[in-house]
């Protein structure tokens, strides 16, 4: 969702060749290949096929395989996105080979070093040459960490570019077997789904919520593995478990949801733009602007509070929020201008 609009924007400039490297960190069809199809992205020139592994093993494999690509292709610049293991692995390889790195979505901080993504964010921003931030808090975080302001560019939120482009198609989508009012749920963070005691209680909470509001739950592959520990436990017709959804299908659900319950970072941003109430089951967020300005509420892992907030939404007491500056569908154009002018 982040790369597609940037690839399109850069292609508008003459004399710039670009190619895509897919690390294979996300390898499930519904979490990978279908995104290339729906977003109209060029097929990857390289697929490193690293698959699933521990944090260290996955990062090391990406670094080893990506280094060979960089040495072969000798790019002038590598663009990395977000905060996954692929991001920091590619950035570290490039920094040691003296290849410039641009980090899209730079400067976001949860200030929680127990989150692997936080380590990825901090390290990537320290070695990147161009830091492209989605919001002012990113600039402030980087200034606090001593990053040279000349390397930092406020460009806006590129995920919103994809949302704006795809929303008309999503609104044409037919959602089958889902009532007019429903809660949409996503869970994937290890700190949540690997805690089987908490996850079991979360299932109980979703069942309780489903007595008043139908629940739609597309299940991430990692989460599905954990749910297998419960067997066929505690799901009925009002908690609808689905396979991971293609982007358009998920966006259609998100657009029409009465509320979204998530531990995802990107969904916090998308719901803010869509003005849909978002309840985030995390103690912190690297996207505080969605709380300060948007529709997001951090309920933490307090499931009693989760149920209270759902009750308030059903009663019509909901957080309205506003769309942050530069979340306008043109972030990729600003990113392309920075990259071409600075390369």
Per-residue pLDDT at 141 = 98
Task: Classify 174-314 by CATH class.
Answer: alpha beta
* pLDDT band per the 50, 70, 90 thresholds, residue 238: confident
* pLDDT band per the 50, 70, 90 thresholds, residue 236: low
- Which tens digit of pLDDT belongs to each residue from 185-226? 999 999 999 999 999 999 999 999 999 999 999 999 889 989
Give dist(CA 283, CA 272) in Å, integer: 18
* pLDDT band per the 50, 70, 90 thresholds, residue 343: confident
Count CB-CB contacts under 10 A for residue 31.
16
* Region for 14 from its dihedrals, namely left if φ exceeds 0, alpha if ψ lies in -120 to 50, beta otherwise: beta
What percent of the chain stands above pLDDT 70? 96
* pLDDT band per the 50, 70, 90 thresholds, residue 36: confident
pLDDT above 60: residue 29: no
Burial (Cβ within 10 Å: 0-12, 13-18, ≥19) of residue 26? middle
- Which tens digit of pLDDT belongs to each residue from 52-70? 888 899 999 999 999 999 9
* Region for 105 from its dihedrals, namely left if φ exceeds 0, alpha if ψ lies in -120 to 50, beta otherwise: left
Q: What are the DSSP calls for 255-307, one per residue?
A: HH-SEEEE--HHHHHHHHHHT--EEE-SS--S-THHHHTSSEEE-TT-HHHHH
Give dist(CA 21, CA 77) in Å, integer: 13
- Which tens digit of pLDDT belongs to each residue from 289-312? 999 999 999 999 999 999 999 999
Mean pLDDT, residues 149-162 taken together: 98
* pLDDT band per the 50, 70, 90 thresholds, residue 234: low
Per-residue pLDDT at 194 = 93
* Token pair belonging to 186: 């996503």
pLDDT above 70: residue 235: no
Give dist(CA 176, CA 234) in Å, integer: 23
Answer yes or no: same fold for 3-156+327-342 and 174-314.
yes
Catalytic residue among 103, 188, 220, 330: 188
Highest mean pLDDT among 50-54, 77-81, 113-117: 77-81
C-alpha pair distances (Å), 202 with each of 69, 93, 185, 198: 43, 40, 11, 6
Per-residue pLDDT at 162 = 96
Q: Which is more confident, 42 or 28?
A: 42
Per-residue pLDDT at 231 = 67
Which residues are within 8 A (CB) of 272 and not within 5 positions of it... i.e. 6 or more apart?
Answer: 278, 289, 290, 293, 294, 295, 296, 321, 323, 324, 327
Mean pLDDT, residues 334-342 taken together: 96
- Which tens digit of pLDDT belongs to each residue from 265-277? 999 999 999 999 9
What does the mean pLDDT of the chain come to?
93
| Fold for the domain defined by 3-156+327-342 | Rossmann fold (3.40.50)
Per-residue pLDDT at 30 = 52
* Token pair belonging to 87: 């991001």
pLDDT above 90: residue 75: yes
pLDDT above 70: residue 237: no
Which residues are within 8 A (CB) of 147 and not within 5 positions of it... i.e. 6 or more apart?
Answer: 125, 126, 131
pLDDT above 90: residue 14: yes
Mean pLDDT, residues 82-88 taken together: 96
- Which tens digit of pLDDT belongs to each residue from 130-152? 999 999 999 999 999 999 999 99
Mean pLDDT, residues 82-102 taken together: 97
Q: What angle do CA 256, 170, 8 make, to 5 degrees?
A: 135
Mean pLDDT, residues 154-158 taken together: 98
pLDDT above 80: residue 233: no
> Could you confirm whether 103 is annotated as catalytic?
no
Domain ranges of the chain: 3-156+327-342, 174-314
């Amino acid at each position: 969702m982040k790369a597609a609009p940037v690839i399109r924007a850069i292609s508008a400039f003459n004399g710039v060749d670009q190619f895509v490297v897919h690390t294979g960190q996300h390898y499930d069809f519904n979490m990978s290949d279908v995104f290339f199809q729906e977003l109209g992205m060029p097929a990857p020139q390289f697929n490193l096929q690293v698959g699933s592994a521990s944090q260290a093993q996955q990062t090391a494999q990406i670094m080893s395989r990506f280094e060979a690509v960089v040495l072969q292709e000798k790019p002038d610049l590598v663009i990395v996105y977000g905060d996954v293991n692929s991001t920091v692995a590619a950035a570290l390889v490039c920094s040691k080979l003296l290849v410039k790195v641009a980090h899209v979505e730079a400067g976001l901080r949860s200030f929680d070093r127990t989150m692997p993504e936080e380590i990825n964010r901090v390290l990537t921003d320290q070695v990147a040459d161009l830091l492209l931030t989605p919001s002012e808090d990113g600039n402030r975080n980087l200034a606090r960490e001593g990053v040279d302001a000349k390397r930092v560019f406020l460009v806006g939120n590129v995920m919103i570019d994809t949302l704006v482009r795809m929303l008309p198609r999503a609104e044409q989508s037919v959602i089958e077997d889902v009532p007019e009012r429903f809660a949409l749920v996503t869970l994937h963070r290890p700190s949540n789904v690997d805690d089987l005691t908490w996850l079991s209680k979360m299932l109980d909470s979703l069942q309780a919520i489903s007595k008043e509001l139908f629940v739609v739950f597309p299940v991430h592959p990692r989460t599905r593995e954990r749910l297998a520990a419960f067997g066929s436990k505690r799901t009925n017709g009002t908690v609808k478990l689905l396979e991971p959804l293609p982007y358009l299908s998920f966006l259609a659900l998100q657009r029409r949801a009465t509320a979204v319950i998530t531990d995802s970072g990107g969904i916090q941003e998308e719901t803010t733009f869509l003005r849909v109430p978002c309840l985030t089951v995390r103690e912190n967020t690297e996207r505080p602007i969605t709380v300060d300005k948007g529709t997001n509420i951090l309920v933490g892992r307090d499931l009693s509070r989760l149920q209270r907030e759902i009750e308030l939404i059903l009663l019509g007491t909901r957080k309205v929020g506003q769309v942050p500056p530069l979340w306008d569908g043109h972030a990729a154009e600003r990113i392309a201008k920075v990259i071409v002018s600075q390369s």
